[in-house]
Chain A
Amino acid sequence: MALFNLKINGKTYKADVDANTPLLWVLRDHLDLVGTKYGCGMAMCGACTVHVNGEATRSCVVPVSNVSNATITTVEGLSETGTHPVQEAWDEVDVPQCGYCQAGQMMTASALLAKNANPSDKEIEEAMVGNICRCGTYHRIHDAVKLAAAKMKK
């Protein structure tokens, strides 16, 4: 066990965990940040996506010791009340069905848009292909990414 001071969503969280524990389970089991979801545990589905120093990262395969000095953002940190342009776009387009994958989808999309304000369809595809939505909301995810991009330009 080791003590980590993690910088998450602008706050510092303490976690006394085994250094190999994936960030996903530290968030969910120790820090009560359950917006980040478990889907596969092997970087295949994207449900656990968070930002590590601004990069969309699959938290299920990142040991907490690798991110002890990093700046981490989870879906709870996009905005608490749903005012981040990506959250607003997701709401306006009414994307969710079951909703389970959507935190990961939004984290991937927001990381893309932070770097590339005007992504082409191809670039959106390249970013989003790693996130599975079992309910099949892909069309709306596409529309929402476009809408979020437009919102961010304003």
Chain B
Amino acid sequence: MSTNQSRRDFFKTSATAAGGLVLGFGWFSSEAFEPGVLTKTAADTIDFNAYLAIAPSGIITIYSPNPEIGQGIKTAFPIIVAEELDADWSKVKVEQAPLDTKKFERQVTGGSGAIRHSWERLRKAGATARAMLMEAAAKKWSVPISECSTSKGFVMHSSGKKLSYGELATDAAQIAPPTTVKLKDKSNFTLIGTSVKGVDSKDILTGKNLFGIDYKREGMLNAMIQRPPAFGLKLKSFDATEAKKMPGITDVVSFGNKVAIVGKTTWEVMQARKAVKIEWEKEKDLESSADHDRIFKEMLNSTTATVHRKDGDIEAAFKNAYKVIEAEYQCPFLPHSPMEPMNFFAHFKGDSIEMAGPSQTPQSAQNQIAKMFNMAPEKVTIELTRMGGGFGRRLNTDYAVEAAELSSIIKAPVKVTWSREDDTAGGIYRPAVRYRFKASIDKAGNITGYMLHGAGMNAGNATRPDNFPVGAIENTLIQSNDHKSPITTGPWRAPITNFLAYAEQAFLDEVAMAGGKDPIQLRMELLDKSIKSPVGKITYEPERFREAIKLVADKAGWGKKKKGVYQGFSVYFSHNSYVAQIAEMANVKGKPVLKKVYASVDCGIVINESSAQNQVYGAIVDGLGHAMYGNLTFKDGAPQQDNFNKYRLIRYNEVPDIEVHFVKNGIDPTGLGEPALPPTGGAIANAIFKTTGKRLYNQPFSEQGATLG
């Protein structure tokens, strides 16, 4: 495979005073590319738009721009570069790049999009450097390049001579980057697809300072912030006389409906916080969970829904139906509960500000902070720390912006740390949602009409109008209503589909039962139809869907009677990847007990087998845990759960066996941080139905008698 590239993709190579090759390339840009300026960073490597530097010592430094949240991106990106470079992985050093909007595009962790977005660019970077090293060697030996090859950090000549990349790096820097570069045949990959350990693992396991919450600077103060205890309240007044007298406290200030307690150490601040007397007053409606239940029902019965997709004539389909199946599913609010609570460091310096902390979207933090201070964005620098999870919470920038504001008020470097209670009760939640489904079937059990009505909160559109089975059914109607709630909401791992998939997959199970079809057979027939005579626009590839289904059915022995084993099936396409799951349960004295989950995953080429497995296991455990227990309720605007004593997360003893299989199709890679989560709730619900005959229409399942472990 040979790819053309413009000069501008690889605009600069350079040898440094100490020698070595530094190759700058646009990791993300698709076309236009502005040459960068050389800046010195270390004695023997210089980086400008530098993503790849080879020092004479042979050490290869690769800069990873995307924020690491546990999805393994900091390891996966360099693997792709190293593969095409034929580097010796043990000599590769990976460094986290800071936020730099000039050098990088899409420094975002979200939407499972990083690998898909950067795959080709990363490969070209490695291949370009490799070509230059080969050319340098060929020149040195005065031999044709065609007689040279590379392996594990060496260029070899057919005569047996060899030179290491380190030895060649300085010469290679004199060579102009090639305009065409040959990428490896995928069958020759030696690093991609193997198991590579996380590049930060050693530091994690020895307790190094890695996370935002660990961040420290000379003279830094610590702060905690009291935010309104209920959504809909605002600050009326506060009295900090007592708190200010307490040991270690330097300041108590208020801004934007919040009161910040600032002091020397976290514990002192926590103590003083309890002594601040605050009065709040009502500003907006104070909603309770019972209000939400009522609002959902009103929305589903309203005639004002926004229509997102319409195929054929749904009313006629219902009228002419052999049978009509109707059901409603509801899911609650969820906090993200990352193990590392929100935090951020800020040091306001008048005409600039230095920030450091965990963010999934540092650029948007930068823009908002710049706007707040009326500064140019480049005056806001952001150091990216490793994130102790995020699950979408750190796509919001509230906690970074407030740290910046606080630092500007107290005129000192400060780290704001959220307590667990702050983190849970001051969230930007996955909003609750209710879905109404209605399907018509003919005598043979085929679906003739399919309606989905979503009732969401601050979701805009709580549906995904083009998702399967849409595209395989003649008559469809997808619509939604939305309620504007004062409770703050935002994306949560696999936004919308995290709950929608459960509801859709459970409802399809109901339709299969009603029509006397096997649940997998029903899906396969629909996919067949979407191949042969698709209805309207289709955003998924039915063939890939089918392969994923076949793989999991085969591995789990679907349809083969296993004694005492009840299986539930689910499959979902999200973030460009396909995941099918089969949950197996036993009936223990009338109770469904989850034994095993099988998963098949089509995310195209797997970059790092170990990390990919880890992601899928984790997403299934996440999906299972939240489907079972996740439930944040409200009373008069106040969250009723604020720590792990009241808000239950899944634990060690509750996870079933999990078996993961990847579809091997050599297709370019797609996302994996999210797609394995959506199918889980449906697989569990469908297995519970098989085991007990009880259909679970609401999450969390534990509140309807389901247990784990």
Contacts and interface: CB of A to CB of B under 8 A. Distances in A.
B650 to A, nearest CB: 7
Interface string A29-73: 110111111111110110100000000000000000000000000
Interface in A81-130: 81-82, 87, 90-91, 94, 96-103, 106, 125, 128-129
Interface residues of B, number: 62
A22 to B, nearest CB: 7
B187 to A, nearest CB: 25
B216 A32 contact: yes
Contacts of B222: 29
A82 B643 contact: no
A30 B620 CA distance: 39
A98 B388 CA distance: 5
Contacts of B200: 96, 99
Interface residues of A, number: 59
Interface stretch (B6-14, B66-74, B525-533, B544-552): B66-74
A25 B389 contact: no
B194 to A, nearest CB: 12
Contacts of A96: 70, 198, 200-201, 204-205
Describe A's contact surface by its main secondary structure: loop
B651 A136 contact: no
Given A45-B644, A91-B201, A125-B653, A100 B247 contact: no
B609 to A, nearest CB: 10
A94 B198 contact: yes
B267 A91 contact: no
Interface in B167-225: 195, 197-198, 200-202, 204-211, 213-214, 216, 222
B683 interface: no
A138 B213 contact: no
A97 B643 contact: no
Contacts of A102: 204-205
Interface in A5-40: 17-18, 21-22, 25, 28-30, 32-40
B267 A79 contact: no
A39 to B, nearest CB: 5
A135 B70 contact: yes
Contact of A139 (B201, B209, B386, B617): B617
A40 B421 CA distance: 8
A142 B386 CA distance: 24
Contact of B389 (A18, A98, A141): A98
A149 interface: no
Given A25-B265, A37-B340, A42-B643, A137 B614 contact: yes
A28 B265 CA distance: 9
Given A37-B340, A38-B341, A39-B420, A136 B205 contact: no
Given A34-B207, A36-B207, A47-B339, A136 B620 contact: yes
Contacts of B622: 134-136
Nearest to A103: B207
Given A1-B247, A97-B614, A132 B644 contact: yes
Contact of B247 (A18, A132, A133): A18
B617 A136 contact: yes
B389 A134 contact: yes
Given A42-B643, A98-B387, A141-B652, A35 B206 contact: yes
A96 B349 CA distance: 37
Given A40-B643, A129-B651, A133-B339, A94 B205 contact: no
Contact of A138 (B202, B387, B389, B621): B621
A134 to B, nearest CB: 5
A97 B71 contact: yes
Nearest first, the 10 closest Cβ-Cβ pairs linking A and B are A35-B207, A136-B621, A100-B388, A98-B70, A97-B70, A99-B204, A75-B207, A136-B618, A44-B644, A34-B214
Interface of B: 69-72, 195, 197-198, 200-202, 204-211, 213-214, 216, 222, 247, 265-268, 337-341, 386-391, 417, 419-420, 610-611, 614-615, 617-622, 625, 643-645, 649-653, 655, 658
